[in-house]
């Protein structure tokens, strides 16, 4: 499930998705935005243009040059960020056409008087990054879009060359087509290139969107960045401590309580054999023996739930296959990992699948499910898909909120697709350095 136009071009069914149309919409709506911001920027740049003209003709004296330089710098410093602010608001909204990832708005102070708001806008880093994007929008973007327009026009002319050559020769720069026979190879090439147009639109729109995201996303200041780093480190320490504590509890239960319970069960079994049958004492010991065996089974299940032994010894693929064998619906597992992820990442992926399969049986009404796990660079990707009725809602008590919280602790993300009528696909991405 790609989240941007650039990522979508790698899909096999890309031309059949909405991304080519979204990219075309983004490209078309760029033109009025660039024209709207171009007029005020031309006014701001007029002193600079006049200075360059006088310098090129040799008519500018030192005093005139200094005056034009100061006026131009003053206009840009005083009005540049203010002119770019409305454009940035529009561009943050338009960016959703080619990038589904949320983009935080620029940090603008709205409390206090107008002087404080104006000072924040002029002196803050946000305003100047927005102004830089406005400059890119009226300088580099027209060049990029012009090259795209020329390419599209060339493709269309080549594709329709046999029909166009009847009205006269067609000049393609280095080649001139004069007959329909000469136009056939160009028509074949142009027709083939038409299938690449959606990819071309997505690449250009995606590149523009990436530049907009880079300039319109405000980087945190040094103090906030340091605080975020410390929060990330403390969270990592808590995750490691929690994993170590879980291992200790599992070990203590396995080596301590479980062994003692096994011994108690054996003692009760021996006492049951020594007592005469059909006596009150034999009946009481038999009941205690059965209860001890049931308690031992429950304790073994509890230990398995804390951290399955197969997960510790054989890794995530084997643990997922064992989990699938105990699922109430048929589950197909496709999990081939070239290397073992860290223990806490494996545990999180396992428990996400366990909870998802529980939801499939309890809420999904599915007849089968598929579990896949693979490493994508430094990310463990786990997907659970079922053919149920869909309509999964985190607010419906299905455990999805708990899953999202567990994944967020690992600095991962969870994606859910569950339209009414199904199917339901749960995708979890966990950083795995």
For residues 430 and 376, give the distance between their C-alpha atoms in angstroms, rounded to a whole number. Answer: 10
Specify the pTM.
0.48
Number of Cβ within 10 Å of residue 323's Cβ equals: 20
Whether the bond between 423 and the residue before it is cis, its omega within 30 degrees of 0, is: yes
pLDDT at 53: 63
For 365, how many CA atoms within 13 A lie in the half-sphere containing its CB? 10
Which residue do the tokens 């080596």 mark? 255
Is residue 260's pLDDT more than 70? yes
Q: What backbone torsions phi and psi does residue 367 show, to the nearest 5 degrees?
A: -105, -15
Q: Which residue has the higher pLDDT, 233 or 322?
A: 322
Is residue 386's pLDDT more than 80? yes
Number of Cβ within 10 Å of residue 341's Cβ equals: 22
Q: Which residue has the higher pLDDT, 170 or 77?
A: 170
Number of Cβ within 10 Å of residue 234's Cβ equals: 10
pLDDT at 199: 92
Is residue 319's pLDDT more than 90? no
- Mean pLDDT over 133-148 rounds to 88
- Mean pLDDT over 203-232 rounds to 74
For 310-431, CATH gives: 3.30.565.10
pLDDT at 25: 93
pLDDT at 205: 92
Q: What backbone torsions phi and psi does residue 334 show, to the nearest 5 degrees?
A: -125, 100
* pLDDT digits 0-9 by tens, 10-53: 888 888 889 999 999 999 999 998 888 777 777 766 665 655 56
Q: 294: pLDDT confidence band, cut at 50, 70 and 90? A: confident
Contact 332, 354 (CB under 8 A): no
* pLDDT digits 0-9 by tens, 98-129: 988 876 554 444 444 444 454 445 555 677 78
Spatial neighbors of 213 by CB under 8 A, at least 6 apart, are 95, 99, 101, 103
Q: Which residue has the higher pLDDT, 243 or 198?
A: 198
State how beta strands 424-431 and 170-171 pair: unpaired
pLDDT at 149: 92
Cβ neighbourhood burial of 18 (10 Å; 0-12, 13-18, 19+): exposed
pLDDT at 244: 66
β-bridge partners, 381: 374, 429
Q: What backbone torsions phi and psi does residue 283 show, to the nearest 5 degrees?
A: -65, -40
* pLDDT digits 0-9 by tens, 367-377: 888 999 888 88
Q: Which residue has the higher pLDDT, 75 or 209?
A: 209
Q: Which residue has the higher pLDDT, 258 or 8?
A: 8
The three-state (H, E, C) secondary structure of the chain, written as one string: CCCEHHHHCCCCCHHHCCHHHHHHHHHHHHHHHHHHHHHHHHHHCHHHHHHHHHHHHCCCCHHHHHHHHHHHHHHHHHHHHHHHHHHHHHHHHHHHHCECCCCCCCCCCCCCCHHHHHHHHHHCHHHHHHHHHHHHHHHHHHHHHHHHHHHHHHHHHHHCHHHHHHHCCEECCCCEECCHHHHHHHHHHHHHHHCCHHHHHHHHHHHHHHHHHHHHCCCCCHHHHHHHHHHHHHHHHHHHHHHHHHHHHHHHHHHHHHHHHHHHHHHHHHHHHHCCCCCHHHHHHHHHHHHHHHHHHHHHHHHHHHCCHHHHHHCHHHHHHHHHHCCCCCEEEEECCCCCCCHHHHHHHHHHHHHHHHHHHHHHCCCCEEEEEEEECCEEEEEEEECCCCCCCHHHCCCHHHHHHHHHHCCCEEEEECCCCCCEEEEEEEECC
pLDDT at 278: 74
Is residue 220's pLDDT more than 80? no
Selection from 29, 22, 25 nearest residue 8 by Cα: 22
Lowest-confidence region among 184-193, 220-229, 307-316, 398-407: 220-229
Lowest-confidence region among 108-117, 204-213, 313-322, 347-356: 108-117
Q: Which residue has the higher pLDDT, 171 or 203?
A: 203
Contact 296, 254 (CB under 8 A): no
Q: For the sheet containing 424-431, what is the strand order?
A: 331-335, 369-376, 379-386, 424-431, 413-417
End-to-end CA distance of the chain: 22
Determine the length of the chain.
433
Contact 183, 167 (CB under 8 A): no
For residues 40 and 20, give the distance between their C-alpha atoms in angstroms, rounded to a whole number. Answer: 32
Q: 350: pLDDT confidence band, cut at 50, 70 and 90? A: confident
- Mean pLDDT over 186-212 rounds to 91
Selection from 298, 270, 360 nearest residue 323 by Cα: 360
Q: 166: pLDDT confidence band, cut at 50, 70 and 90? A: confident
Token pair for residue 292?
Answer: 């001890």
| Most confident residue range from 380-384, 393-397, 400-404 | 380-384
Selection from 88, 86, 99 nearest residue 130 by Cα: 88
- Average pLDDT value for the chain: 76
pLDDT at 168: 78
* pLDDT digits 0-9 by tens, 63-78: 555 555 555 555 555 5
Q: What backbone torsions phi and psi does residue 307 show, to the nearest 5 degrees?
A: -165, 110
Which residue do the tokens 């997907």 mark? 383
Q: 255: pLDDT confidence band, cut at 50, 70 and 90? A: low
Dihedral of alpha carbons 215, 217, 223, 226, sign? negative
């Amino acid at each position: 499930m790609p989240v941007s136009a650039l990522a979508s071009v790698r899909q096999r069914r890309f031309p059949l998705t909405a991304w080519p149309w979204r990219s075309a919409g983004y490209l078309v709506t760029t033109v009025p935005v660039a024209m709207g911001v171009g007029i005020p920027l031309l006014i701001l740049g007029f002193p600079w243009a006049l200075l360059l003209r006088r310098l090129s003709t040799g008519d500018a004296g030192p005093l005139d040059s200094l005056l034009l330089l100061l006026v131009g710098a003053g206009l840009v410093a005083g009005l540049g960020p203010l002119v770019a602010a409305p454009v940035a608001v529009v561009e943050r909204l338009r960016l959703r056409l080619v990038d589904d990832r949320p983009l935080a708005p620029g940090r603008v102070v709205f409390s206090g008087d107008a002087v404080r708001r104006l000072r924040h806008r002029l002196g803050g880093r946000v305003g100047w990054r927005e102004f830089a994007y406005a400059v890119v929008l009226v300088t580099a973007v027209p060049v990029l879009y012009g090259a795209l327009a020329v390419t599209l026009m060339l493709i269309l002319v080549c594709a329709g060359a046999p029909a166009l050559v009847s009205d006269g020769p067609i000049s393609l720069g280095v080649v001139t087509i004069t007959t329909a026979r000469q136009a056939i190879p160009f028509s074949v090439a142009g027709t083939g290139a038409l299938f690449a147009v959606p990819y071309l639109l997505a690449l250009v729109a995606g590149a523009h969107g990436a530049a907009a995201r880079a300039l319109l996303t405000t980087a945190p200041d040094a103090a906030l960045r340091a605080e975020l780093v410390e929060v990330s480190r403390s969270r990592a320490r808590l995750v490691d401590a929690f994993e170590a504590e879980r291992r200790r509890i599992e070990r203590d239960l396995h080596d301590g309580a479980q062994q003692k319970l096994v011994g108690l069960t054996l003692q009760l079994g021996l006492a049951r054999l020594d007592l005469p049958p059909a006596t009150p004492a034999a009946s009481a010991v038999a009941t205690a023996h059965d209860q001890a065996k049931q308690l031992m089974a429950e304790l073994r299940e509890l230990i398995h739930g804390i951290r399955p032994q197969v997960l510790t010894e054989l890794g995530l693929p084997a643990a997922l296959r064992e989990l699938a064998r105990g699922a109430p619906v048929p589950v197909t597992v496709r999990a081939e990992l070239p290397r073992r992820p860290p223990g806490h990442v494996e545990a999180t992926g396992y428990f996400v699948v366990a909870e998802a399969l529980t939801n499939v049986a309890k809420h999904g009404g599915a007849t089968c499910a598929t579990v896949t796990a693979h490493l994508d660079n430094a990310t463990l990707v786990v997907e659970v898909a079922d053919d149920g009725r869909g309509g999964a809602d985190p607010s419906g008590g299905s455990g999805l909120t708990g899953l999202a919280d567990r994944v967020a602790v690992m600095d991962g993300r969870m994606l859910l697709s569950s339209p009414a009528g199904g199917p339901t696909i749960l995708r979890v991405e966990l950083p795995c350095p």
